[in-house]
Amino acid sequence: MNRLDGKVAIVTGAGRGIGRAIAEALHAEGATTIATSRASSDPTFGEIHYAQLDVADEADWRRVVTDVLEVHGHIDILVNNAGIIAYEPLHELTIEDWHNVVATNQTGVWLGMREVVPHMITQGGGSIVNISSIWGSAAVGGAHAYHATKGAVRNMSKNAAITYATQKVRVNSLHPGFIETPLTDSQAPAVNEYVVSQTPMGRAGRPHEIAAGVVFLASDEASFVTGSELVIDGGYLAQ
């Protein structure tokens, strides 16, 4: 408890699933937490603050970051979690679906980092955690745009980590395996069963297990950790 006392955090894609678990975990550890999603309002967050944010919208990012700074004075943690998926292989993928996935999964991460990094530099540091995926490091058939963007997030994080290391802005990526969320619940059961069957621990992960990793990377306990990939996948990528 209280590992993040005095820190201010923004979490994207926090309406449900992994993002919501992350927002709740940061709040439980003492951070003033601003949970965001595309929804116009979410009154169920209780003491966690809420802001509407389309991560692919440059003006939206500027508005949210400006508001957070005006109210709280600083931003210490950014968790770029918002993401969507298209399942089509590359020869069936439409240009519209490609642009939608890239806009949310890749451009959204870039915009978030671009907006907060100058403030983190000015205040003397901060921690950014970008949620990638095991599919940013390995592949299965289909879901071409998702694979492309999650791989991009992996390398974007490394680039930012190296670029801002001397300015004490730490940037790491986190790579979940198969996690039980509303997103995976909406997938074909056969797909879910296959991925779980290929996971050495033999089960799906849970959102709070991902959130625990984010808390570590966001905290001062990870003060010498930047440019790393934290894999939480039940052993999938170890094979």
CATH code of residue 14:
3.40.50.720
Domain of 74? Answer: 8-178+205-233
pLDDT digits (tens, 9 = 90+) for 7-23: 999 999 999 999 999 99
| Confidence class for position 62, pLDDT limits 50, 70, 90 | very high
Phi-psi region of 142 (alpha: psi -120 to 50; beta: other; left: phi over 0): left
Identify whether 186 is part of a domain: no
Identify whether 59 is part of a domain: yes
Identify whether 209 is part of a domain: yes
Catalytic residue among 146, 164, 194, 236: 146
Task: Give the predicted TM-score (pTM) of the model.
Answer: 0.96
Identify whether 188 is part of a domain: no
- CA-wise closest residue to 11 among 107, 31, 89: 31
Task: Transcribe 29-91 into DSSP letters.
Answer: TT-EEEEEESSS--GGGTTSEEEE--TT-HHHHHHHHHHHHHHHS---EEEE---------TT
Identify whether 194 is part of a domain: no
- Enter the tokens of residue 103: 């806009």
- CA-wise closest residue to 37 among 18, 47, 22, 50: 50
Identify whether 229 is part of a domain: yes
Compute the average pLDDT of residues 116-139.
Answer: 97
pLDDT digits (tens, 9 = 90+) for 200-238: 999 999 999 999 999 999 999 999 999 999 999 999 999
Identify whether 36 is part of a domain: yes
Strands 32-37 and 8-11, by their bridges, are parallel
Active site residue 146: yes
Number of compact structural domains in the chain:
1
Q: Cα angle at 55 between 227 and 211, to 5 degrees?
A: 50
Identify whether 183 is part of a domain: no
- Enter the tokens of residue 71: 């109210």
